[in-house]
Amino acid sequence: MSHAPRTHTVIDSPVGPLTLVATGGTLAGLYMTDQRHRPPQETFGDPDPEPFAETVAQLDEYFSRVRTEFTVPLAPEGTAFQLRVWEQLRRIPYGETVTYGELAEAIGRPSAARAVGLANGRNPLSIIVPCHRVIGSTGSLTGYGGGLERKRQLLGLERRARGTDTPDAQLATLW
């Protein structure tokens, strides 16, 4: 665990308040209200909006359907396996989905779908590391640390931005 100073700020978004956490000035966390596995507030450090200007700008562009990929530097903390899963999440194209099994195959661990799901649920950088783009093998919106309604909102926003009005078979359960 890092000993660099931690700071945080809270911003409004279409999916509710988002708490941004930086370690040594680099984004280490993005948490939603009532998010599962959200660390205790006292671990977020002092309030300071300064290190978050670029993250806030990119989130605004994302929610305005202008930005499809985030480029802010990230400093997530996790196990080697979790970091591998989170890196693979960043490769899922905007507006598309993969299953937990497909994600496990992509990291070279085809029998680890359950472990991938657990790592996905511990993602400390929701939205920017798009864990909302992972769905169940039947196309269902299985678990999401931020709640299924937020997952539905994020996937819907991305599909509308892509101009995909007709849901594909995988996302039929959304509509």
Catalytic residue IDs: 131
**SS3 call for 10:** strand
Q: Could you tell me the maximum CA-CA distance found in the chain, to the nearest angstrom?
A: 48
Strand partners, 29: 21
Cβ–Cβ < 8 Å for 21, 14 = no
Alpha-carbon torsion (132, 138, 83, 122), positive or negative:
positive
